[in-house]
Structure 1
């Protein structure tokens, strides 16, 4: 574990505060005051570490049901919080997955910001940007074979659904931060932004809410079900019994996750299977809502909701064991949590449609949920469709 004071990123240039879900009116006036980095190899409980670190720096989140204080123009504003998929698996008591392709990235990062005069430096001349060819961590055939193995596990009764995620990496030269920042402008990116550290950076274009808390109300918005953003694609998604069944399984899982930390009888589902657009894809989204149990703190909330059910499967522990056995590399910056925490407010996106830089390579991840009705080749094509806008944006197209 490393507790680090404010600093400029050494091997990647510094940028203005652009953490996903940070208050828009504050982004140009924030200064970093403290940060925490943690890796799995450090040991301990990342959820407890995050809660304790935030409390020590003026952000007590031991009770998320307290009335929201008025936002102050001076002093602490809030903090960016990032938790990897591997850290989420650890919190769930599941295998943490294969070795990470970008081990420079921490598994937990907490960056506390105060209001103040943000340091500004005159930008130098832009460095030429070059992005090389992508190298996949598995071939389309290996991906399809993994889908077949999940279907066999479902047939044996080991689980009902499992998510499979592939990874790719590409070399680059130049400053990767403008490329990562462009992801936030993709249509439908509810959690668009960048988080940087010493030798690493994460760019996010996620449309999915992992968990949002405001005035003691818990909200998660699972996304499951994808089709091309055409009139025919929308009609096909709405009519697909397979996609609807897959979606409802995840909604039930999210209901159960929230019920662990909610007041009894308050979990409800709004907007079941609503079709929304992200880039050139239609996706099905639901909203699950609940009232937080008395005294619910950040650590218990993270333990209940991480990793997100839409990128694990059901039952969650069985799905995570299947994922660990089948995926060739770790999920890195993807399928985790990234967003903003502040007194009375928490808003974390699920890091789908996410890329990362480690000083030498860019990394992307994409996948989908597998059920007994999944077609292996169609699942491979869906993952490619999800990552295509991200890669094109990184390349500057």
Structure 2
């Protein structure tokens, strides 16, 4: 059901650029990192041990369990807490709810807004686990962790959307709670798949690697890197081919889940671990560059935009620059104007309480999230050729002007 105050276009995906100058999830698979990945895959057992040791050192945890996916790591973390009910924001990825269900627990969905974050104070936390996912790039640990503990809850910190790098992980060394990571395609680390649970509590499993492991993700990563550096005519041709891919759609309505997704419980493959081990070595520099770009863009557009404004997010904890629009119906024309300048954008979350598999888990009214979801747009910020702070700022200001002119014309 769509609220009356939304527009049909609020369920449309942000249109991709016909001739991209940047990408939402740019590949980090340079020639050097490809060589490092191949070398690590040849010594898969050593790569697994080395990756786990470095993650333990960065987070200060005693144990690291490497998993097939980030959601498998989250399911393991939930089981470790022993909680029968798990509180999470409804403004979230369905994978988080799927992991809770896979752990045999019951999700408890709470409302969320861009200033205070999830409404954890609206429910009893005694004996429950609480998953912090840093939605919209907000630092949920700093804002909520202490009060969650005071009220009898157990925190699980899911950093799947954060820039997984030593500099980010060390921020949470003293937190003490389980930390969940994801190395999947499209995540800030830019890996091929897999995940990890970092904890100091006893935990079983996670000692092996899946035999084989398809090379398709590695080939995609290499191809994406080559395309990003290719001339414009090549990038445009690839974009046209993607639009003809089976299953491609203009609207999220075609992809809303009818049932909860499965969570793989097997071990990660050697290629997933090898790529994560190789990419982690240069992750801090990439994360620092993304954070610097984020801050430059946010500072430059402050006070310049009339239809939206950047959310005051932590630049290390989100994959892009989050824009909050004044009202529904503005997001799509803004994204279309960005695309005309080659700038990619997206919107990630349709509230869980509005999806069939999770609606019964809502803890109460979700008025803030219902108002929020049609008004958020994520603009790419990961380091890549051509996508400079100046280009992003100019594109945002031009898109803002385009939407303002359209609204004036209708008025």
Question: Same fold by TM-score, threshold 0.5 exceeded?
Answer: no
Which one has a larger percent strand, Structure 1 or Structure 2? 1
TM-score by length of 1: 0.29
Question: When the two structures are superposed, what TM-score results if normalisation uses the length of structure 2?
Answer: 0.28
